[in-house]
Amino acid sequence: MALLLERAYNPDVLSCLANLSNDEVFTPPEVANQMLDLLPPEIWKDRNIKILDPACKTGVFLREAAKRFIDAQIPNYQEIARGVNEKIRKGEELSEADKYFLHDLEAVTEHVYKNQLFGIAITEMTSLLSRRGVYCSKYPNSKYSVVEFDNPEGNIRFRDIKHTWGSNKKCIYCGAPKDLFDRDSSLESHAYELIHLNNPEEIFDMKFDVIVGNPPYQLNDGGNGASASPIYHKFIEQAIKLNPRYLTMIVPSRYLAGGKGLDAFRQRMLSDHHLIKMVDFINAKDCFPQNSVGGGVNYFLWSRDEERPCEFTTVANGRRDTMVRYLDEFSSFVRRNQAVSIIKKILDKTTNSFSERLSSRNPFGLPTSTRGLDENKVGYLKMLSSKGFSYIELDKVASGEQYIDEFKILISRITYEHAGEPDKDGKLRVLSRVKILNPGTVCTDSYLIATGFTDANQVENCANYLSSKFVRFLIAQTLTSINLSKDKFVFVPDQDFGSGSFDDESLYKKYGLDVEEIEFIEANIHEMSYEAEDD
């Protein structure tokens, strides 16, 4: 027993496994333990606590929980086990204390593994991997298992669930398209058990005190390119349905400020005061070194029996900053704690938001793929696409006619940092491009129009403003994906652009920012200049 337990808990094994994909990410043991640290320490002494991981991949959460349960009942058991193992290796006779320890360890381990730890694997492969990680054997009814069960899956189950197709040819539970996931039985269906049941409590037919895990993040939805729809929120919603005392999961942070089909989920989570702790990694590589997860990741603690402001920790550039606050304080969620005081000062002096000026997506109704002629013709307009300038007929412009005869400011629809990762100095550029377009020039869907003017001086003043660190810092506070839109400018105050030019120094002074706040902006945002049309 002691020898098996020692082999079971080698943390390096699960630290070096390659991930399944960016959507199904293995959790490093150190991250799993940070999440388990969120739970009240007294639960590990309670022999009646039941823990469920509904998205098992390696079994790391259950493995680390087992160690905590056992250590709470037999303090320092791993160190004692090493001494006993050494005696066994040398063939030395065990003392009565050693024998009592082994008997006690076996009884505690038997109880913990059979009565307190449960998992639902996401695939058949991860069921075997999880059992190997938790039980030291992919078949826990074998003699090599830490605890010998009377069945080949132990408490880590996998069922080959099928999607249930609706009239729209999509799964009624997860939205998977039938033409992609109505597969041969030899292929994975990705119909995850927890989120494909109306009554998930029937899976193990028991109540769980703690639910913990790292669910799959998204599912290919059959859209253009590598289009995918999020599904991690469905795991959270189903877990809350099970009404555990505590829920902790690690998921992408994109939902905090936006995300495909996540409006209702975001509103619920940010206004749920049972969400009492959250640790948010601005750069996902600070948590998952081998993966780029656009918008970062976060793990949280939801407590059924507590309601209070959230203890929110931001992790960025090697620094952890914690603040107790309500997550729904602003109209758009603010991820950086250090930005809260800055935004409050700005909103106190703001009447109108610059977001009201921005165009909607595809301002002229010209798809990204639109290409024009190399030479101009009478009645044609100049057009900017991702391939540069060309010329198109006026009647191809389907919208945005009000901008055609104005000077206008163009910004790229995609942020500069596609995965939200700062450069080696920890700084962001945020906007890929700020460019002035002359009257008679339009653009494709690769860009947004920030605003338009009939006066050349005003458009230059506005372009300077949008290029400032001040503005780009405020935009950055709303970003959790690579896409820019009107709502990402909600904290940017509108200005009278006929009153003069704007630079960071004058903006810091206007809004009363102190030295620490200014230094924070300067430390996080790169210098940037706007372009004229001929640049």
Given this model, what pLDDT does residue 417 score?
A: 80
232, 351: one domain: no
- Does the residue 250 lie in any domain? no
- Lookup result for tokens 């193992």: 85
Please count the CA atoms within 13 angstroms of the CA of 254 that sit on its side-chain side. Answer: 23
Given this model, what pLDDT does residue 22 score?
A: 45
Rg (CA), the chain: 28
Residues 432, 448: Cα–Cα separation, whole Å: 12
Burial of 383 (0-12, 13-18, 19+ CB in 10 A): buried
Q: Can you list the alpha helix ranges (DSSP code H) found in 116-206?
A: 124-135, 178-181
Angle at 363 between CA 362 and CA 367, to 5 degrees: 35
- Does the residue 518 lie in any domain? yes
DSSP secondary structure code for residue 456 in this structure: H
355, 236: one domain: no
Number of domains composing the chain: 2
Residue at which a domain ends, from 245, 277, 310: 245
Tokens of 535: 């640049």
> Is the alpha carbon torsion for 43, 49, 52, 58 positive or negative?
positive
Burial of 34 (0-12, 13-18, 19+ CB in 10 A): middle
DSSP for 379-433, written as a single string = TEEEEEETTEEEEEEGGG--S-HHHHTSEEEEEESBBSSTTS---TTS-B--BS-
3-class SS of residue 183: coil
Residue-level pLDDT, tens digit, the chain, 535 residues: 544 454 444 444 455 454 554 456 789 999 999 999 999 999 999 999 999 999 999 999 999 999 999 999 999 998 998 999 899 999 999 999 988 999 999 999 999 999 999 999 999 999 999 999 999 998 999 988 999 999 999 999 999 999 999 999 999 999 999 998 998 877 888 899 999 999 988 899 889 999 999 999 988 776 554 567 899 999 999 999 999 999 999 999 988 876 667 889 999 999 999 999 999 998 888 888 877 787 889 999 999 999 999 999 999 878 899 999 999 999 889 999 999 999 999 999 999 999 999 998 999 999 999 999 999 999 999 999 999 999 999 999 999 999 999 999 999 999 988 656 778 888 999 999 999 999 999 999 999 999 999 999 999 999 999 999 999 999 999 887 788 999 899 999 999 999 999 999 999 999 999 999 999 999 999 999 999 988 6
- Does the residue 313 lie in any domain? no
Residues 489, 359: Cα–Cα separation, whole Å: 11
- Does the residue 529 lie in any domain? no
- Does the residue 254 lie in any domain? no
- Phi, psi torsion values for 447, nearest 5 degrees: -130, 165
Tokens of 37: 């640290």
Evaluate whether 315 touches 282 at the Cβ level (below 8 Å). Answer: yes
- Lookup result for tokens 């945005």: 400
Given this model, what pLDDT does residue 14 score?
A: 52
Tokens of 376: 């101009």
- Does the residue 500 lie in any domain? yes
Residue at which a domain ends, from 227, 245, 263: 245
232, 116: one domain: yes
175, 33: one domain: yes
- Does the residue 15 lie in any domain? yes
- Does the residue 519 lie in any domain? yes
367, 488: one domain: yes
Residues 254, 423: Cα–Cα separation, whole Å: 20
Angle at 347 between CA 518 and CA 464, to 5 degrees: 55
371, 232: one domain: no
Burial of 289 (0-12, 13-18, 19+ CB in 10 A): exposed
22, 147: one domain: yes
Residue at which a domain ends, from 179, 212, 245: 245
Q: Which of 249, 264, 262, 254 is nearest to 302 (CA)?
A: 249
Given this model, what pLDDT does residue 226 score?
A: 54
Domain that holds residue 90: 2-245
Residues 101, 383: Cα–Cα separation, whole Å: 79
